[in-house]
Structure 1
Amino acid sequence: MTALAVHDLVPDTLRSWWSYAGYYPGKDIYSLFCEHVVEHPGRVAVIDDDRELTYRDLAIYVSRLAGAFVEAGIQPGEVIAVQLPSGWHAVALDLAAAAIGAVVLPYPLGRGRRDTLTLLGRSCAAAVVIPCKVGGTAYDQILEEIRPQLPYLRVVVIAGIRGANSLEDWLTNGPPLRGQRHVASSAPARILVSSGSEADPKMIIYSHDALAGGRGAFIGGLHDVHAPMRNLFLVPLASSFGSSGTAVTIARHGGTLIVQSRFDAGLALELIEAHRPYLVFGVPTMYQMMLDHPRMNQVDTSSLRAVVAGGSRVDPATVAACRERFRTEFINCYGSADGVNCTTDLRSAPAAVHSAVGVPNPQVAAIRIVGDDGRDMAEGEVGEIWGLGPMSPMCYVDPEFDQKYRAQDGWVRTGDLGYLDKQGFLHVVGRRNEIIIRGGRNLSPVEVELLLAQHPAVKQVACVGIADPRMGERMCACVSLRDGQAPPTLSQLTQYLVDTHGLEPVKLPELLQIFDTLPLSAAGKIDKRWLRDQVSSTPQSPASNAPTEPEPTGERR
């Protein structure tokens, strides 16, 4: 047996208080799901590319999968890794792992040999479920090549093949789960994966309570209709944002989860019209692609209460366009796999949604702004964002990350920089490790991105720091263009920033790279690491308006 080594960095007294206060439902994810099966067996639980599945039918598949894992020797506390497209199979595996007290480790398609090896190896995964092949990637061959380096891996289940070790066979012929299995709500349930700035992915361990309770309160706070939830997740269920699919939408709130296996703007619009969700969860890039789709203005979006955006900052133009063309509210969400969350709500004024990410909710996560010296910063002062609350994770799989990202009493150190205004709204100004240090001055790429995104020719934008032997770093604006727009020059873009937005010359980008489209990571965010590597390998000349000498400002942000 290779049970995951887990220690909760949040004090027991805090967990007990949150439970006493009712922030935790006090039941494991599978038990919560079973209550909904009894209460409304005929309600649709999942809608994906292939079918609609009721709670009753989903429960049958979950029981077979759970029984098959038990028969294969998987024990409570062991890790079941899952790399599948979003769909009912992934949901059933989430619930099956919860049913037997195992810990599910979902990771999105797109992570290749290196990430698969490190995720399965460092988590000591005892089982893995993968597709045979998706697109041009043969995931079964990748696993076959690295399996000799995975001594703890005992069970391999493959989707899309025939035979005893196929997922389809387990779903059809798996032995139903027998007997009552007690799983503590405080036990580990899921590992969220986040690359962040680390060379290797970070793996963060969450309990049943933190998922169903803390994250459940976040989603529950956005649902304002007297009807069962209907949530469309455009992001992968294997992502941090997508972790509110199975555990929250289905197990905690008994709603209907709508997903697509791979994001497609046209299909997303069809799903909204056909299945009438109340909330849509995506990243800003996805909404921009939907807004640009030719069918956008013909789609019936009257069911929507809000579109919810997370994963990256969103510019005012995109917020306004979403409000106008989706004909609904826009909710700005800040969060991370590491364990922090803050969101605007349906009552937030448009200006607040543009510039802030809401008022912290103590039922989800309280927020502190902490300076380099460890003291709490005053109102309006920028510091590192720390979070602690019912959604706080237990720990990292790797203890060295506990040392780096967790503080006393379990506070999560996000690495993000922000401040709280006098109304209590949280403002995020960038990541500590993404701040571009040019000639001794700290520059925020986010500030420039939000302004460039409003240029009429710009469809997508990301600013990255490029190493420079004289200045330390220079800022490069990477953009893709709207259809029919002529490529602007760097001089035209910098003039726009100065004339239209009054940006200080010292903050202007010095390099420009135009792409057909900006690449997305497996989680749907713009892949800045790829852009940085790509631009760094291309000879560049700094703009004529670039500073030529370091500025000894001593500035700290």
Structure 2
Amino acid sequence: MIRTDLIAPMGALVRRHGERQPGKLAFEDSSGASLTYGQLESQSAAVAAHLQDRGIEAGDKVAIMLPNSVDWVLSCVAIARAGAVSVPISQEAAEAEVRYRLEDAGCKAIIVGVSHLPLIERLRRELPALTRVIVAGSDDPTDQLSLALLAQSAARSNPRDPEDVHATAFLVYTSGTTGRAKGVMLSQHSMLWVVAASWAPIAGLHENDVVLSPLPLFHSYALNLCVLGVLAVGATEFLMEKFSTQEVTKRLASGRYSLMPGVPTMFHYLLEAARSSGADRVKGIRYFLSAGAILPAALNQEFEAFFGTPLLDGYGITETSTMVTLNWPGTTRTMGSCGLPLSGLAARIVDMEGHDVPFGSEGQLIVRGPNVMQGYLNKPKETEEVLANGWYHTGDLAKSDANGFITITGRLKELIIRGGQNIAPAEVEDAVLSHPAVLDCAAVGISHPHLGEVPVACVVLRDGQVVDAEAIRAHCAQLLSAYKVPQTIEFVQTIPRTGSGKIMRFKLRDALASAASG
């Protein structure tokens, strides 16, 4: 079943709930700020009208660089209602990463928090396209526009809401094996189709739900479920600024919340904390939802057994507007499997020649459907490669049982997934190689009991150079987001490569594993 009534322009969705239940709480955050549906409708209209009046046209890019907050949601809805494209940027992104995204997207405007305003002002001098800066978190900026003041403005609150749900509405950057982040072009239709095909009919998301979300909103998973999903059905949500085991545990005990999405790392920490404290039950939660990384079968079983609440696992990627598969509640599940393909989606597991493999055999998962991205911004070659013959080639290895349940078994691509966040090895390598003492480098992911994987950099120093590991890590911290900084630096004599120069990462992983076990 697909809830086609949920696939509508964001302006229409927010008007629907704003008119029907204007006083209902829509979103609240850790700062104490909140928005009812009536306020979200009127304030997003005011901000959207301002953007249009100041020259933001259909298809223009507007970045959001804010913490998880009602301001984040307000900005996203307003940008969509202005017909522009949201470009989410992490609060933890390094300056080089922020510059690349703003420049690659050609952003004309950005909505940014006060704490990051100095950074944006520096970059603005280098980015002539960036002509408008809107500040959140201050009612009285000296020479900038305040999001709060714009939201309350009554100068003109009737934006020209776009009706085309198939136009690009979101540009979400994701790490790739080439090292440079790729801007994934997604439409309201592709994102809301996932809401209509999975979150509403399978997870049962509905208007009476109160969602507890610790997920970062700049990720496609949270953007889809925790912004569009909640908005589409008219639910209520509490946005945590970031995940905290202690705070989540406290809130789960309140009995207020009915759904909580997360990544496997979060559920591991919650289980360990609950075991330590003896708090073996949560109140009111109907389901926990997991995506973003592989959920180990043992963790899934232990979590459900301890809390007595279903933990539904799914598989998704940014290029498919998040979800491809999801486990249905109330049915026999194969632990370790990420479930069945969503309605309306075609999924195949193929060999290197593109032929379907038998049940139980491993191959690459490829998918086709209305949730697949429009392509990568400014990267026609990469787009053509992954969308070959009309199918999105995920680069993930999988197998399927006779009942169609899919299990992800590995990756053709070299991404490191740390706590649900993707890290391109080449991006880490570029940062390490920029240190003057480093001759060669290869980054690999190694197993971690809580985070799934963490990056490790194998480093060859230049002749005569002496530098310690912490100095290299500190150098990387100036160039990379904190989660991308190598967990450890391993000094080696040489980097194993193929005859064509490609890094043989499996040899490095094997050597590191052998050293750890020895």
TM-score, normalization by structure 2: 0.77
Task: Find 1:155's aligned residue among 112, 128, 132.
Answer: 132
Write the deviation string for residues 401-440 of structure 1: whole angstroms up to 9, x where unpaired: 312322222x2111111122211111101111249xxxxx
Is 2:312–2:326's contact at 8 Å kept on the other side of the alignment? yes
Q: CA RMSD in A?
A: 3.6
Name the stretch that deviates more: 374-383 or 328-337: 374-383
Tell me if the contact between 1:46 and 1:52 (Cα under 8 Å) persists in the aligned partners.
yes
CA distance in 2, matches of 1:193, 1:326: 35
Q: Label 1:543 to 1:245 Cα distance change in 2 as closer, same or farther (>3 A).
A: closer
Task: Identify the residue that residue 56 of structure 2 maps to in structure 1.
Answer: 74
Q: Which residue of 1 aligns with 2:210?
A: 230
Does 2:330 align with 1:347? yes
Deviations 1:281-330 (A, max 9, x none): 11111112222336864486231111111111122332133213332001
Contact 1:194 1:201 in 2 (8 A): yes
SS of the residue corresponding to residue 345 of structure 1 reads: coil
Preserved contact between residue 7 and residue 196 of structure 2 (Cα < 8 Å): no
Pair 1:214-2:199 in alignment: no
* Counterpart position of 2:237: 257
CA gap of 1:43–1:537, structure 2 versus 1, over 3 A, is: farther
Which whole-Å CA distance do the structure 1 matches of 2:514 and 2:85 have between them?
54
Residue in 1 aligned with 2:38?
56
Change (3 A) 1:296 1:116: farther
Matched, 1:406 2:387: yes
Give the AA of the match of 2:377. Answer: V
The separation in 1 between residues aligned to 2:304 and 2:195, in whole angstroms, is 25
> Is the 2:361–2:399 Cα contact (8 Å) retained in structure 1?
yes
The equivalent of 2:119 in structure 1 is 142
Residues 32-431 of structure 1: pairs in structure 2 closer than 5 A = 32-49=13-30, 50-133=32-115, 139-161=116-138, 162-163=140-141, 164-173=144-153, 175-178=155-158, 180-224=160-204, 228-245=208-225, 247-274=227-254, 276-293=256-273, 297-298=278-279, 301-339=282-320, 341-349=324-332, 352-353=334-335, 355-363=336-344, 365-398=345-378, 399-409=380-390, 411-431=391-411
Distance 2:84 2:205 in 1: 34
Percentage of matched positions with identical amino acids: 21
Larger mean Cα displacement after TM superposition, 83-92 or 63-72:
63-72
Partner SS, residue 149 of structure 1: coil
Distance 2:26 2:239 in 1: 11
Deviation at residue 114 of structure 1 after TM alignment:
1.3
Moved more, 251-260 or 86-95: 251-260
Q: Structure 1 residue 378: deviation in Å?
A: 2.5
Please give the per-residue CA displacement for 1:183-207, whole angstroms capped at 9, x wherever unaligned: 2122221122211434121211111
Q: Secondary structure at the match of 1:181?
A: coil
Separation (CA, whole Å) in 2 of partners of 1:274 and 1:395: 43
Q: Check 1:121–1:543 CA distance in 2 against 1; reply closer, same or farther (3 A cut).
A: closer
Shift of 1:40: 1.6
- Given that 2:109 and 2:130 are in contact with CA atoms closer than 8 Å, whether structure 1 keeps it comes out as yes
Cα deviation digits, residues 420-462 of structure 1 (max 9, x gap): 2211111101111249xxxxxxxxx99xx9xxxxxxxxxxxx9
Q: Which residue of 2 aligns with 1:438?
A: none
Using the TM superposition, give the Cα deviation of residue 39 of structure 1 relative to its aligned residue in structure 2, in angstroms. 1.7
Amino acid at match of 1:421: D
Deviation, 1:369, is 1.2
Segments of 5+ residues of structure 2 without an aligned counterpart are 430-440, 452-468, 470-476, 494-507
| Paired residues of 1:62 and 1:93 also in contact (CA < 8 A) | yes
CA distance in 1, matches of 2:450, 2:366: 36
Q: Distance in 1 between matches of 2:298 and 2:277?
A: 17
Asked if 2 retains the 8 angstrom alpha-carbon contact of 1:270 and 1:299, the reply is no
Report if aligned partners of 1:362, 1:389 keep a CA contact under 8 Å in 2. no
- Report how far residue 25 of structure 1 moved: 4.7
Residue pairs, 1:433-512, within 5 angstroms:
433-434=413-414, 477-479=446-448
1:296 to 1:216, Cα distance in 2 relative to 1, 3 A: farther
Structure-1 separation of matches of 2:392 and 2:44: 34
- 8 Å Cα contact 1:84-1:108 kept in structure 2: yes
Q: How many residue pairs align between the two structures?
A: 449
Tell whether the 8 Å contact from 2:57 to 2:82 is kept in structure 1 after alignment.
yes
- C-alpha change, 1:233 and 1:26, in structure 2 (3 Å) is closer
What 5-or-longer segments of structure 1 have no aligned partner? 1-17, 134-138, 436-444, 450-461, 483-512, 514-520, 547-557
Contact 1:24 1:390 in 2 (8 A): no
Q: Which whole-Å CA distance do the structure 2 matches of 1:307 and 1:544 have between them?
A: 33
- Higher mean C-alpha displacement, 111-120 vs 193-202: 193-202
Structure 2 CA distance, aligned partners of 1:481 and 1:178?
48
Task: For residue 347 of structure 2, give the secondary structure of its aligned residue in structure 1.
Answer: strand
CA distance in 2, matches of 1:78, 1:226: 32
* Distance in 1 between residues matched to 2:91 and 2:175, nearest whole Å: 14
Whole-Å separation in 2 of the counterparts to 1:417 and 1:477: 18
8 Å Cα contact 1:310-1:333 kept in structure 2: yes
**In 1, Cα distance between equivalents of 2:298 and 2:181:** 33
Q: CA deviation at 1:123?
A: 1.0
In the TM superposition, what is the alpha-carbon distance from 1:542 to its structure 2 partner?
4.7
Q: Distance in 2 between matches of 1:385 and 1:544?
A: 28
Q: Name the TM-score, length of structure 1 as normaliser.
A: 0.72
Q: Structure 1's 39 and 298: CA in aligned 2 closer, same or farther, altered over 3 A?
A: same
Provide, for residues 10-64 of structure 1, a one-character-per-residue CA deviation record: whole Å limited to 9, x for no partner.
Answer: xxxxxxxx9xx97575521121121111122222111211134211122222122
Q: 2:498 corresponds to which residue? A: none
